[in-house]
Chains A and B, each alone.
Chain A
Amino acid sequence: MNFLERLFGKRSSAETAKQRLQLVLVHDRAEIPPGVLALIKDDIIAVISRRVNIDREHVVVNVTHEDKASKLVVDIPLLSGTDGQAPGRSGSNAQRSTRRTPSASS
């Protein structure tokens, strides 16, 4: 990294290499291509939001790798019941879920 790159806070190429590797290896190890994960995320959003109000923008779908086992970890922030009427007859479900994960309510 030269002086100017450092001055402007540009990330070193080794750092970029490491981050890119860590990301791609998560998918390689789980044998799920990144594009498929994006599709799974869309499916999950569609299914869940039929019942409860969720914060679609902040849904995270990830594969984690621990001790040779892969896990699909899904994090879906709920919108509290007052933010909007949940579709269908699931308003009460949404509130129950919100109470269980207080940090997710806005």
Chain B
Amino acid sequence: MEEKVITVTSGKGGVGKTTTTANIGAALALLGKKVVVLDGDIGLRNLDIVMGLENRIVYDVVDYVEGRCRLRQALIRDKRAPELYLLPTAQTRDKTAINPEQMVQVCDELRKEFDYIIIDSPAGIEQGFQNALAPADRVLVVTNPEVSSVRDADRVIGLVESHEKGPVQLIINRLIPARVKKQEMLSTQDIMDVLSTEIIGIVPEDEAILSSSNRGTPVVFNGKSPAAIAYRDIARRLIGENVPLTQPQTTSWWQRLLGKTE
């Protein structure tokens, strides 16, 4: 089967799922793919604001599931890429507003039109996570180089495998090369040894991420920042290009200075 539905999850909250979903979605669209990013966090809508599309929401996925609109009416077009859409979630409902079967149905509809459907999973392993997992063809688990998020990643990887969903690949986010070098932070190799799961990308800690979400512009849209490069590489690996996994390098003061001009 073609791997169209990609679920981004983590177990622990705040590790970078929403940032990753927005950037991978945008990067795939910039590669010419028709992409929809779907906010799976019912009640805690965030993908819209990170992408800068929050003012354009009229209908959401719960409206569609409950028959108040057509799917097309709920989709928001992001004009910064040729074919990029957001399917927002409801802000005033809870995770039980949609069940896993309905999520599968929504994705089956979307599969007909899109090359990729990227689902931003909520934190935790309850229904919201089950909803995001049910339609997945491929699962990306985001972790930070830090004990609690690695432990939660292991738990989630186990759950994904027990649901026979996969392949599962790991994204290490917020790596700080200088601290790894000083052995103050788990390295990519350490995390690989502990989780024995394939790594699809390493995204460094990057100041550009905060300003990009301040502005509602995912870093991949305008940048040479280290995180933008990492997310674009992940997108190319997802479409099957052979992009070698590179360790983020320690940046010098002058590189940071140049990076800030973006």
A residues near B (Cβ < 8 Å) are: 1, 12-15, 17-18, 20-22, 24-25, 28-29, 68
| Secondary structure of the A contact surface, majority rule | helix
Beta-carbon contact of A20 and B147 below 8 Å: yes
Beta-carbon contact of B147 and A13 below 8 Å: no
Which one of B161, B180, B182, B194 contacts A25 once the chains associate, using CB atoms below 8 Å? B194
| Secondary structure of the B contact surface, majority rule | helix
- In this complex, the member of B146, B161, B182, B194 whose beta carbon has the largest number of chain A beta carbons within 10 angstroms is B194
- B 173-198 to A, binary, CB cutoff 8 A, 1 in contact else 0: 00000001011111100100110000
Q: Which of chain B's residues have a CB closer than 8 A to the CB of A17?
A: 146-147, 186, 190
- B 152-190 to A, binary, CB cutoff 8 A, 1 in contact else 0: 001100100100000000000000000010111111001
Beta-carbon contact of B161 and A13 below 8 Å: no
Beta-carbon contact of B186 and A22 below 8 Å: no
- B 223-256 to A, binary, CB cutoff 8 A, 1 in contact else 0: 0000000000000000000000000000000000
- B 59-81 to A, binary, CB cutoff 8 A, 1 in contact else 0: 00000000000000000000000
Beta-carbon contact of A14 and B180 below 8 Å: yes
Instruction: Please list 17 pairs of residues, one from A and one from B, whose beta carbons are closer than 8 Å in the complex, sorted by A's number.
Output: A1-B184, A12-B182, A12-B183, A14-B184, A14-B185, A18-B186, A21-B194, A22-B193, A22-B194, A24-B151, A25-B194, A28-B151, A28-B154, A28-B155, A29-B154, A29-B158, A68-B161
Question: Is B36 in the interface zone, CB < 8 Å from A?
Answer: no
Beta-carbon contact of B193 and A18 below 8 Å: yes
For the complex formed, measure the closest distance between the CB of A11 and the CB atoms of chain B, giving whole angstroms.
9
Q: Which of chain A's residues have a CB closer than 8 A to the CB of B194?
A: 18, 21-22, 25
Q: How far is the CA of A28 from the CA of B125 in the complex (A)?
A: 15
Q: How far is the CA of A68 from the CA of B168 in the complex (A)?
A: 14
Beta-carbon contact of A25 and B154 below 8 Å: yes
Question: Is B150 in the interface zone, CB < 8 Å from A?
Answer: yes
Beta-carbon contact of A1 and B147 below 8 Å: no
Supply 14 further A-B pairs (C-beta < 8 A) apart from A14-B186, A17-B147, A22-B193: A1-B182, A1-B183, A1-B184, A12-B183, A12-B184, A13-B183, A14-B180, A14-B183, A14-B187, A14-B190, A20-B147, A25-B154, A28-B154, A68-B161
Q: Which of chain B's residues have a CB closer than 8 A to the CB of A13?
A: 183-184
